[in-house]
Each structure stands twice: as C-alpha cells, then as structure tokens.
Amino acid sequence: MSECTFAIIKPDAVKRKLAGKILQRIEAEGFTIRGMRLVHLSKKDAEGFYAVHRARPFFASLTEFMASGPAVVLVLEAPDAIKKWRTLMGATDPAKADAGTLRKEFAESIERNATHGSDAPETAAVEIAYFFRGVDLN
Ligand code: CMP
C-alpha cells in the first residue's frame, strides 16, 4: 500500500552541496516527491520538531546543528515509504550504516547524519503537518 513519509536533507548535507545527489537517489529508488521546501529552522523550530528528544544529552547540540543552515524538507510517497526511506538512509550512526546507504555515503557523524526520516505512520503525520499545509502537497 502506498504511503507518505517525512524526510529532511539536513544542514550538513545541504551545506556540502549534496542535496542534488540525495534527491537523485530518492527519485532513482522510486519515491514520488509530494512536497519539497528549503527551510532555515530557528532554534525554537528545531526544539519543537525534536521535542521527543528533549531529555537527551545531545538535545542542545542537535537543535543548534539543525538551526545552523538551510535544510530541505520533503514528503515522499512510495509503497511502504516509511520503512523504505529508513532503509535507504541506513543506521543513525554512519559508522553502523550498511554500504550503499545515504548515511554511510554522506553522513559526517551520528549527529550530522545527512538525513532524517519518520519512524512510524503517526510520527509521519505529525512531522508532515509541522512543515506543510495541505495546499503545498501534490
Ligand atoms: P534523526 O533520525 O533526525 O533523529 C534524531 C537525531 O538526533 C538523529 O537523527 C541524530 O541527528 C541525532 N542523534 C541521535 N543520537 C545521537 C547521539 N548519540 N549523539 C548526537 N546526536 C544524536
């Protein structure tokens, strides 16, 4: 069944001019891009987005990083999109990511890990709504 997931090409990847390469992989793997914007998050925006991680020791650093430059936010559609996108990204920590995954290829560290993806349908719905109005989805 076709579903939508939410994805981010994070500031580390945009800064290193990897957005095009990552978008190319997204399309080559069969995802349809339903929404796409370049956003520069404020610290508050990043804190709101990552609120579930508020108690983690890396929260301050993570939200600073996410507010450090522009990022590309995306809504991707495919059969089983949530799992498919997480597989394409690879493990959170690039040192543990499989060969051929985006994080293995492009991530600098567990924090500056190039991409984000929703982990469940409920999270995808909340994350999509955080960045996109219905009229901006195609
Ligand atoms: P993401 O998939 O966007 O979800 C939460 C983010 O927190 C994660 O990618 C990383 O960018 C970051 N993160 C997760 N674990 C750690 C960690 N141990 N140290 C620093 N950052 C982390």
- Is the Cβ atom of 92 under 6 angstroms away from ligand 1? yes
Best residue for ligand 1 mutational test, from 82, 102, 111, 116 (most atoms within 8 Å of Cβ): 111
Give yes or no: 116 in active site. Answer: yes
Residue 1 has pLDDT above 90, yes or no: no
Q: Give residue for tokens 């925006």.
A: 45
pLDDT of 112 reads 98
pLDDT of 47 reads 98
pLDDT of 56 reads 98
Q: What is the largest CA-CA distance in the chain?
A: 39
Average pLDDT over residues 16-40: 98
pLDDT of 58 reads 98
CA of 110 to the centre of ligand 1 (A): 6
pLDDT tens for each residue of 78-118? 999 999 999 999 999 999 999 999 999 999 999 999 999 99
Q: Where are the domains of the chain?
A: 2-39+72-132
pLDDT tens for each residue of 30-80? 999 999 999 999 999 999 999 999 999 999 999 999 999 999 999 999 999
In CATH, 2-39+72-132 is 3.40.50.300: no
| 3-state per-residue secondary structure call for the chain | CEEEEEEEECHHHHHCCCHHHHHHHHHHCCCEEEEEEEECCCHHHHHHHCHHHCCCCCHHHHHHHHCCCCEEEEEEEEECHHHHHHHHHCCCCHHHCCCCCHHHHHCCCCCCCCEEECCCHHHHHHHHHHHCCHHHCC
